[in-house]
Chain A
Amino acid sequence: MPEGLDRKEVAEKRRHRLFKYLRKEVLPTAFCPGCGCGIVLNCYAHPVDELQLDPNDIVAVTGIGCSSWIPSPYFLRDTLHTTHGRPIPFATGVKIMQPEKTVVVIAGDGDLIGIGGNHLIHAARRNVDIKVFLVNNLIYGMTGGQLAPTTPLGISTTTSPHGNVEHPFEIAELIAAAGASYVARWTTYHVFPLMESMQMALTQKGFCFIEIRSQCPISYGRRVGKRTGSEALQEYKESSVRIEDATEMSPEELVGKIIIGKLVKREKEEFTDNLRKLNLELRTRKIGRGPEEWSLS
């Protein structure tokens, strides 16, 4: 131990440099062993640190589910932990009033695609400048492993004990079609491209969406023979196909594959910008007197 320092100070010095981004009073995290949420939390802290975003300029909005705990309470920034499925409309309200803030939504597939799916596609359509990091573990993990709208056909869950008979959403493709500015898909195995992709999303204007395939060993993995986090990561490594390569492959070859990479990146008018433009424009337009004037005629 270096002279003049006590044990506590040494421990503090050896802390990970990103430890400052965590809300210390709530640690350790409640994530299960092998859970992907810790990896996503780590990946998220990197671009936030690298971009040196002003701590007061990030607002995290989240819903209900394990991955919603990544920003709330663990990530130390202004945080709005909302009702189940609604973080995107809450975030829309925040972004409209504080357009200079980086508004980030981190939540799961049950929250954003299941109960909140309508909000997700509408926010993509509006191209409102919020950053959505969807942690997709193909299951309702927090509630004990019930069927999700992302669960693959045939998988047995606690509410599909005889095997799932529903087709799952391909959510990244859906959001790309709905009009988002930036859409990508990565897995918790691909941490470096994921960090880079998050950095891209945090800097690109408009609705940015990253689907992050993430493992839930407890509520999903053990049902499909992947009982540990590392087994899941191994599978992500083996079954992922870069989008550039996927275009060369047949549908049969793509069965069971995860297509990773950037699906869309485009310039498009942003919603809150348009609101502001309208307000400015109205200031110079001639305005009549009284309510008889605002009628459509």
Chain B
Amino acid sequence: MIVEIGHFALILAMFAALAQSCAGLIGGQRADYRFYTFTKRATDITFVAAAVALIALIHAYLTSDFSVKNVVENSHSLKPLIYKIAGSWGNHEGSMLLWALVGAGFATFLSHSKEELVWTLKSRALGVQGLIVALVIAYVVFASNPFIRLPNPPFQGNDLNPLLQDPALAAHPPFLYLGYVGLSLVYSLAIAGLLDGKVDAVWARIIRPWALASWVFLTVGILLGAYWAYYELGWGGWWFWDPVENASFMPWLLGTALLHSAIVTEKRGALAAWTVLLAILAFSLSLLGTFLVRSGVLTSVHAFALDPKRGVWILLILALFTGGGLLLYGLRAGVMNSDKGMFAPVSRETALVLNNLFLVVATLTILVGTLYPLLGEAIYGRAISVGAPYFNAVFTPLMSIILVFLPVASFFSWKRSKISTHAKKLIPALIIAIIGGLVVAFIAQNKPMSAVGVSLGVWLVLGAFSEFLQKAGLGKSNDVVKRAFALRPMYWGMFIAHLGVGVFVIGAVVETSFQKEQTFAIGIGETVQFEGRKITLDKIASLEGPNFYSDAAQISVNDGKKTIILNPARRYYPAAKMPTTEVDRKASLFGELYMALGEPNSESGASKWVLRVYFNPFIGWIFGGYFLIALGGLLSLADRGLRVAAPKASGDIAKAAS
């Protein structure tokens, strides 16, 4: 019964979203407040109805209702509670339902936000968002319905892919979707701006918090995914340039570009047309990502529930919103010709334009690399693989170039700047960075690129500090610390995020260059040597979990001073017929000891276990750096200046704010 209520609510949400769409667009077009009021009510109904639908699905998972096909395919009565809840969106149908709910949720937030002065823009944005949500729900209802009942329900379900039964991965899809779908609202606001004929500083000010929020969500989502890959897949890696990872990384990169260009539009009234284009493309790429992941066009380790028929649906939605958006963009090019803000070649504007150039080229490079196997097949009839070595070879240099300039560019002022006046403030940072690089070059003589990479990371970290302390009045005032804390959250955000980039670079370079890995075959009671440590397999215990069996090892590691115990394990999930590796890790100041237990191996008579041991130096810096980037975004979001309602005298504010 509850499943049917959910099913009904879903269809209701679809019609409510359609009503929201029509009323919103008409309300904006005719500047009729009655339609606007109507679309706001419809937005609330869409959201509530979509929420009821998801809650009904979660209820079916919680009660293990195996008369529902989706529950049978993705759940098991013995599965722990948290994964029953997360399992409802850990599959294709449920995840698309979550997509629709988040889309409706963003619309509701916008509808209740305080920016009433620009209500025609809001009305149109709700209209566009309504159309997106309506089409996604239509797709769920007609092509991937999670509420389908089975005529002959089985007694037990097939269980969720055990790799996905993990706390980080329970939270990974919601965050990623909050990011992806948040970009849909930025897209809606961009289209609304085009329709409204006003794409200016006020518009930029309205979209920026939404862009920032979705970008923060996307950052956290990617971080959770990378962290999960690191400890769950048992390979000691955290980024594989897998098509699905690329699908989330491309909107993130474009989102990063969008944040930077929106600053220029907001503060200087320039680059408006460019910002709109980025808003359209960022959402298009998140749709494209959804298409690539769900259609199975590209094989990927993440692929689940593939169905070419579904691909066609998503492709149509993608074509409509990308094509429609770009068409409107072309038709309305005139309204954006407000790019009056003049700037000299050396200025903050130029720096941000270059930032955008590199971020967009990097994004397109990843796009070309991700899609190239399809092109190769279609045009040349050859099966070509494009993998991590390619992406590392092209992406890393592109990003390095732009990152070298980051500390210098962050000193630039608007309109016109001089390199020479700022150069001396960065000399200490430059010297320390070079020393850092030399130290690495001395330690690892055969790895010149690692030295360059570490140097770059140190340069970024110290550059961020230099710029921030400068802002706090270093050299001019005695209480720099006090003044630093008095700075607006926006500046703190910029500082922390740029600092995070540096921390990440150091971590990534050190980890990839100096990771140590060795595989052992080890019997119980035996000891092996690894990087100055004695590793002993004490025992293997067979345990039974709620829905798995486990072989857990007890391994003592002696580094000459003290002994620590690690417990890597292997699990076997009988319902899903899959083994998983449960690694165990021990972090120390400079890195992390990481162990993955392999299978028992009795070929040579005595029973041995395969044990993969890694030392991952500075791994915490990678995730820590990425976390700082997200934190920086969050701090910027907390800035009140971003959230004040845009006043009518819009153009002036833009100038004043500079």
**Are A and B co-members of a single complex?**
no
A residues engaging B (CB < 8 A)? Answer: none
